[in-house]
Amino acid sequence: MKMHKREKKNTGWKGMIVGMMVLSLIACRHKVPEQNMAERSIIPLPSSITPEEGAFRLKKRTVIAVDEGNEQLKAVGDYLAGLFNPATGYELRVKEVKPSSEGGDIRLTLSNDAPDLGKEGYELKVSRRHMVIRANTPAGVFYGIQTLRQLLPAAIEKDSVQPGPWLIPAGTICDCPVYEHRGVMLDVARHFFPPEDVKRLIDEMTAFKLNRLHLHLSDDQGWRIEIKSWPRLTEIGAQTQVGGGKGGYYTQEEYKALVDYAASRFITLIPEIDMPGHTNAALASYAELNCDGKARELYTGTNVGFSTLCTRKEEVYKFIDDVVGEISALTPGAWFHIGGDESHVTPMEEYIPFIERAQEIVARHDKQVIGWDEISHAGLRPGTIVQYWARAENAKRAVEKGARVIMSPADRTYLDMQYDSLCPLGLHWAGYVEVDQAYNWDPTTLVEGIGREHIAGVESPIWTETITNMDDLNFMAFPRLAGHAEIGWSEAARRDWDDYRNRLGRFARRFQAMGIRFYHSPRVDWQE
Ligand code: TNX
């Protein structure tokens, strides 16, 4: 009897506990806001988003499954786990499965049956229990992961454990980029940025699916890469910077490590050695590069256009051959940038044969030439790419000579241009570049005669006369760089300033979680 009574009582208790659990579960469900894939703020805007009901919940036991036997894809899986582990506090498992199998909760797979996705596109399918990112290449899967990141709450970007829940709204995203070249240029010559800063920038680029980092490695104020056959370039030429600070340079080891770090994020480094102008640091290091045979003084000001290699001296071409050779040996990427801008003290009749010869030297080291738009005055080798920054007529001439163009119009893409007259950093020779001015243009309609087929892509230069550290760099780059990334990735016909402005406003928390100090443009409603 007693037993029976007790059992009865127990059942009552149990019932209550179960009831409370059910109730709290329902309450919990109600606390989670509706999840709608189309309402997430994704930059760059994907080609198509088809939302469905429900959400996938990232849990401690979520397994990432990759096709077996593909090292690069396995690395992408590990990258994904590494991306989500800090904020979730999980240790997500990555396992290899048969390529044809479904296995795992988050499936990363290469499929060969999606020609539309091209080399960098992906398809992301999320349902309640399962998620698949499918692409033709590991790069495509990697870009799918960048989208997945933005489907999660901004707190996923933090580096300490956050409460969650980690819900990813269900649906399908199909996405591929418009342009193959989606770049950033960093001037490490005016102010030196150590390798850890460059890595940081690489990580920031990664989030916006950018794929080329052009490093401006030499200028009047500094030479920033070790050249073993010409050691004084760094012994002397690297020892200062704008304002007279101590400068710095990358050893070849360090440069190689940067190449590898970038490659692990599907970013190609493009080295630039600017010539024949912007060469004072080299001219100070080696007297024989000057026509008068006299070494120049190191320079720490911000003037441009006063220096030139002696284009009539044979040793100058030996110098270029050595420099291009050593740097090319560190460069798995296809390109070598020869600068060629603002050579105001090189007579045109010397500039033209010089640029032609520099192109030959680069070709001999198996690289393709990129140069600033002035190089179109010279003959252009097949495959040479011209980077438009200032003069439309230079870019048009390049296209007439058969070259393709990278679009870096200063009044839209220069991240060192001030946002407005109150901006504490930057220059304004090309005007003020507010966030809408930076976003609201189409590379195919900017210069008459230069259309889609002539354009390799878009690149955003960060000149550093006034920029000395990563916080200031981020402030000038963001949010404008996010807009440039969208111009490079998303169809112009689908882009719209009001829609972008809205997405960008909701991106504020993500910038913060990523530790990016950004400019709070008054033209955007920031949702913080
Ligand atoms: C022009 S863009 C330059 C750079 C300056 C920059 C400052 C280009 C090819 N040359 O040397 O740093 O303006 O905005």
Nearest ligand 1 atom to alpha carbon 429: 14
Can you give the pLDDT at residue 75? 98
User: Count of CB atoms within 10 A of residue 477's CB?
Assistant: 26
CA of 476 to the centre of ligand 1 (A): 15
Quote the tokens at residue 503: 């997405």
User: How many CB atoms are located within 10 Å of the residue 3 CB?
Assistant: 7
- Nearest protein Cα to ligand 1, atom 2: 389
Task: Indicate whether 305 pLDDT > 60.
Answer: yes
pLDDT band at 100 (very low <50, low <70, confident <90, very high): confident
Buried b / exposed e over 391-430, threshold 16 CB at 10 Å, is eeebbbbbbeeebbbbbbbbbbbbbbbbbeeebebbeeeb
Return the pLDDT at 5. Answer: 40
Q: Place 35 in a pLDDT band, splitting at 50, 70 and 90.
A: confident
User: Cα(208) to centroid of ligand 1, in Å?
Assistant: 24
Q: How far apart are CA 501 and CA 496, in angstroms?
A: 8
Q: List residues bridging with 223 in a β-sheet.
A: 218
Q: Exposure of 318 by Cβ count < 10 A (0-12 exposed, 13-18 middle, 19+ buried)? A: middle
Q: Which two tokens stand for residue 431?
A: 């005007």
Residue 82 neighbours by CB under 8 Å, 6+ apart = none
181-492 to CATH, choices 2.130.10.10, 3.20.20.80, 1.10.10.10, 3.40.1160.10: 3.20.20.80
Return the higher-pLDDT residue of 364 and 164: 364
- Tens of pLDDT along 368-414? 999 999 999 999 999 999 999 999 999 999 999 999 999 999 999 99
Residue minimizing CA distance to atom 7 of ligand 1: 463
Q: Model confidence over 329-359: pLDDT tens digits?
A: 999 999 999 999 999 999 999 999 999 999 9
- Whether residue 230 is predicted with pLDDT greater than 80 in this model: the reply is yes
* 175-199 tens-digit pLDDT: 999 999 999 999 999 999 999 999 9
Pick the residue whose CA is nearest to atom 11 on ligand 1: 304
Look at residue 30 in the predicted model and tell me its pLDDT.
Answer: 46
Domain ranges for the chain, please list them. 37-175, 181-492
CA of 153 from ligand 1 middle (Å) equals: 38
Q: Which residue owns the Cα nearest ligand 1 atom 9?
A: 341
Expressed in angstroms and rounded, the spacing between residue 296 Cα and the centre of ligand 1 is 21
CA 402 to chain centre: 27
* pTM across the whole model: 0.93
Copy the structure tokens of residue 113. Answer: 């049956």
How sure is the predictor about 23, in pLDDT bands with cuts at 50, 70 and 90? Answer: low
H or E stretch at 30: helix 2-31
User: For all residues of the chain together, what is the average pLDDT?
Assistant: 94
| Whether residue 7 has pLDDT greater than 60 | no
Instruction: Give the number of the atom of ligand 1 that is nearest the alpha carbon of residue 372.
Output: 9
pLDDT at 21: 59
CATH code for residues 37-175: 3.30.379.10
Give residue 486 CA to ligand 1 midpoint distance, Å. 24
Q: Ligand 1 center to residue 463 CA distance, Å?
A: 7
Q: Whose CA is nearest to atom 13 of ligand 1?
A: 463
**Which atom of ligand 1 has the smallest separation from the CA of 278?**
11
CA-nearest of 368, 93, 144, 152 to 266 is: 144
Q: Which of 106, 97, 149, 142 is nearest to 127 (CA)?
A: 106
Strands 268-272 and 222-223: unpaired
pLDDT one-digit tens code per residue, 238-295: 999 999 999 999 999 999 999 999 999 999 999 999 999 999 999 999 999 999 999 9
Among 299, 304, 413, 429, say which to mutate for ligand 1: greatest number of ligand atoms within 8 Å of CB: 304
> Ligand 1 atom 4: the closest Cα is on which residue?
463
Neighbours of 521 (CB within 10 A): 18
Of ligand 1's atoms, which has the minimum distance to the CA of residue 461? Answer: 2
Model pLDDT for residues 293-302, shown as the tens digit of each residue:
999 999 999 9
- How many angstroms separate the alpha carbon of residue 273 from the centre of ligand 1? 14
Q: Which ligand 1 atom is nearest residue 390's CA?
A: 2
Residue among 342, 407, 462, 464 whose CB has most ligand 1 atoms within 8 A, to mutate: 342
pLDDT at 25 over 60: no
Active-site position among 52, 254, 342, 350: 342
Report, as an integer, the average pLDDT of 454-464. 98
Q: Which ligand 1 atom minimizes the distance to the CA of 417?
A: 14
Tokens of 528: 């913080």
Mutation choice for ligand 1 from 275, 341, 414, 416, CB with most ligand atoms inside 8 A: 341
Query: How many Å lie between the centroid of ligand 1 and the Cα of residue 122?
Result: 36
Ligand 1 atom at shortest distance from the alpha carbon of 190 = 12
| Nearest alpha carbon, ligand 1 atom 12 | 463
* Amino acid 4: pLDDT: 46
Q: Which residue has tokens 């104020």?
A: 221
| Residue closest by Cα to atom 5 of ligand 1 | 463
What share of the chain has pLDDT > 70, as a percent? 93
Give the per-residue pLDDT at 3.
Answer: 40
Q: Measure 519 CA to ligand 1 centroid, in angstroms.
A: 22
342 noted as active-site residue: yes
For residue 103, the model assigns a pLDDT of 85
Question: Residue 156 belongs to what H/E stretch?
Answer: none
Residues with CB under 6 A from ligand 1: 304, 341-342, 372, 389, 414, 416, 427, 463, 465
